[in-house]
Amino acid sequence: MTTENSAQQAGSPTAPPAHAKYLVLAGAVIVQLLLGTIYGYSIFWEPLSSEVFPEIVTEAQVAGVEASRIESGAVRVVADDAAAAVERSAREGYLKYAFSICVLSFAVVMVFAGRIQDLKGPRFPTFIGAALMGGGFIVAGLLNSPIVFFIAHALFAGMLTLVVLMGYHALFGHLDPEKRVMARYAPQAILVTMIVGAVVLGNQYVGQMGEFDRLFLLWGTVGFLAGAGVGFAYVSPIAALVKWFPNHKGLVSGVAVAGFGLGALLFSQRWGALGFISEFGIASFFVVHGLVCLVGISIGGLLLRNPPGHEPGCVATDNSAWKSTLRQPAFWVLWAMYFSASVAGLGVIGIVKVFAGEQLVGAATAAGEVMTEEAVRALMLDGAKAVGVLALFNALGRVVWGFVSDRIGRTPTFIVMFLLQAVTMFSLGAMQTELGLVVAASLVGFNYGGAFSLFPTATADMFGARNLGANYGWLFTSYGIAGVVGIAAGNAARSMTGSYAAAFAMAGCLCLVSAALAIVLKRLSDKPGAAAPPDA
């Protein structure tokens, strides 16, 4: 139990200072602002490509390249410009999976982090999140240091050994070691085998695989570790706020998670991370950003605490524990709706910079303009504007939809939001002007942002606020799966059709289904003995 909760339980609860809840709100915004920078991942792919992969040259250009660079693997020779374009597209696809891994890790870890938040209070999991996210980016910034590969390999081997030993214990832990020799010595044998295997593989492969080493390191750091950090820190501010502001759950949740939507602005502007990367490089940025996350999220976490009467250990009979929540059909309807909202949003966020730039280049080429390398680069840079606009409206949507849902109810708000997002997704693939792309990106972000204020407040409405951490953690698994599905669908559509339009259309259909599911959810909630209706 954390210090703030122990102090509160020492005596009868006293009324907190009038400004206490606003300090919690400020801490929540700080934490969410830094966590939300993961939404700016789409600006990483271009600078990372040159950092991770060898230079691409065509057979026509190979005469001007030193033979030693080709032999060392620093240069990759392809047939022509078309083959070079295919190779660049494949590289971007590999890098994009860092975002998918981040989202999946975010969602899976939140299941455990939510339960820890319910038991320990909001500060403890927030500090863990700060360490994981900050550490992930710092290690990623050292991706060209050989020692980092060996340390990462050792940590991975240690985790794998732990999993194997846990599996052995689960299967054979009931055997009496005094009677069975294998039961006594098998753990030592497993440990020795894993150590020998890790050393052999480390000497032979780690640090010797060039681009694959760096790619796996990125997946494990800005992917897995950063995602786990977000998962630990994300739910605590929301869970605390709905307890401090019970009559305005939608609005305050929206204000807090608006910071998450605004985080990507730090990446998409020339005065922000994009300018820093251009001047100092992606590796330096990762180190600096990791330090900022470590310090900033910790400071925000210090401002978080539960109100009197909501300390861990207090009994509340009107709240649903997570095991009971998972048995209710309404939960799974809500899960399916969250999945649809996340597929639509994440499928665009992960590729918005590249997609917008390619749409502008395609429109210019179709109009007969001569596309020099400088012209293409300028149009691709213009595409980055969509990242900032999407992030801005993502933040705005969280506040607006949360405010609206407090006034008209969750169900009507769900229906309107999903219908508007469906129309936007069906139209997105046809946008080829800068204005059209900016408007479409703003609507995608606006509607997608609403999900992050509506779903946690609907969860609190239906299953209670005391166990919101665990209940919302389980609901959030839909977001993690959607992150993988959304990026994979976009890559598949791009490979098979040359555009992302098919993936956008699929997301639009899912949004239409979810608008209908909102009505089903209301009817399930209104049944006698069911959870409270989402617009109660």
For residue 339, the Cα-to-chain-centroid distance in whole angstroms is 14
**37 secondary structure, DSSP code:** G
pLDDT category of residue 2 using cuts at 50, 70 and 90: very low
Q: Is the pLDDT of residue 65 over 50?
A: yes
Say which amino acid occupies 357: G
Helix-helix angle 468-475:434-463, to 10 degrees: 130
Q: Is the pLDDT of residue 257 over 80?
A: no
Q: Is the pLDDT of residue 196 over 80?
A: yes
Q: Is the pLDDT of residue 532 over 70?
A: no
Tell me the three state secondary structure of residue 456. helix
Domain edges within the chain: 19-526
pLDDT category of residue 264 using cuts at 50, 70 and 90: low
Q: Which pLDDT does position 299 carry in this prediction?
A: 95
Query: How many other CB atoms sit within 10 Å of the CB of residue 10?
Result: 7
The residue whose two tokens read 């320990």 is 120
Backbone angles phi, psi at 77, to 5 degrees: -95, 130
Q: Where are the alpha helices (DSSP H) in 367-384?
A: 373-383
Report the alpha-carbon distance of residue 75 to residue 498 in Å, rounded: 27
Average pLDDT (207-221) is: 76
Distances (CA, A) of 165 to 108, 159, 277: 22, 10, 43
Q: Is the pLDDT of residue 467 over 50?
A: yes
Tell me the three state secondary structure of residue 55. strand
pLDDT category of residue 517 using cuts at 50, 70 and 90: very high
pLDDT category of residue 11 using cuts at 50, 70 and 90: very low
Architecture category of domain 19-526 in CATH: Up-down Bundle (1.20)
Residues 6 or more apart whose Cβ sits within 8 Å of residue 74: 54, 55
Average pLDDT (413-434) is: 87
Average pLDDT (76-90) is: 75
Which position has the higher pLDDT, 318 or 22? 22
Backbone angles phi, psi at 57, to 5 degrees: -135, 150
Average pLDDT (302-312) is: 76
Q: Which pLDDT does position 208 carry in this prediction?
A: 58
Q: Is the pLDDT of residue 10 over 80?
A: no
Q: Is the pLDDT of residue 323 over 70?
A: yes
Q: Is the pLDDT of residue 507 over 70?
A: yes
Where is mean pLDDT largest: 337-351, 441-455, 470-484? 441-455
Say which amino acid occupies 404: V
The residue whose two tokens read 């050989």 is 146
Listing DSSP states for 56-102 in one string gives EEETTTGGGS-HHHHHHTSEEEESSHHHHHHHHHHHHHHHHHHHHHH
Average pLDDT (4-13) is: 43
Tell me the three state secondary structure of residue 141. coil
Q: Which pLDDT does position 226 carry in this prediction?
A: 92
Q: Is the pLDDT of residue 182 over 50?
A: yes
Percent over 70 (pLDDT), the chain: 82
* Cβ–Cβ under 8 Å, residues 402 and 238: no
- Report the range of poorest mean pLDDT among 248-252, 258-262, 422-426: 258-262
Question: Per-residue pLDDT tens for 470-500?
Answer: 788 888 888 878 877 877 777 777 777 777 7
Q: Is the pLDDT of residue 313 over 70?
A: no
The chain-wide mean pLDDT, for the chain, equals 79
Q: Which pLDDT does position 31 carry in this prediction?
A: 92
Which position has the higher pLDDT, 389 or 417? 417
Q: Which pLDDT does position 181 carry in this prediction?
A: 72
Q: Which pLDDT does position 164 carry in this prediction?
A: 84
Average pLDDT (65-89) is: 70
pLDDT category of residue 316 using cuts at 50, 70 and 90: very low
Q: Is the pLDDT of residue 14 over 70?
A: no
Average pLDDT (278-299) is: 91
Average pLDDT (131-152) is: 83
Average pLDDT (114-131) is: 89
Closest by Cα among 460, 463, 232 to 326: 463
Q: Which pLDDT does position 229 carry in this prediction?
A: 93
Q: Is the pLDDT of residue 134 over 70?
A: yes
Q: Which pLDDT does position 159 carry in this prediction?
A: 76
